[in-house]
Structure 1
Amino acid sequence: MQDEAFLTESRTTQLTTLSRATINRKVARGEFPAPIYISARRKAWRESAVRAWMEERAARSADQ
């Protein structure tokens, strides 16, 4: 089994090109993977979940 990498909020915004506000809105609506709180004030995303979300978006875009 591979080790799961965590992405910081900054890295997640860079990777997806979405703003922090957009990511937070999409998380609230269930349209983006929810973060994991790795401490009381620090959140991160599973890299595999973010990449899967990106692949799904790319596939949907290709179908149109």
Structure 2
Amino acid sequence: MNFGIFLEQELSNQNLSKSSFSKKLSISRQTLTTNIQQWKNGREPNIKTIKKYLKILNIDATLFFMNM
């Protein structure tokens, strides 16, 4: 599974809207939506970005990387 699909599923699981999540990231909802679409299409974010997103979602990065 790529990070874009994972992120959309996790936002849904945690009942977070893209708007509220993007505010926590200090980015616009449109930027988040664009990033997710790019990631779903095969472009992956860098490790620093993944860790930042996981921290906000309260997901342990070590466990995440072990399961991906």
Structure 1 or 2, whichever has the larger Rg, is: 1
Normalised by the shorter chain, which TM-score bucket?
0.3 to 0.5
Could you say which structure has the higher strand fraction? 1
TM-score after normalising by structure 2 = 0.37
TM score, norm. by length of structure 1: 0.38
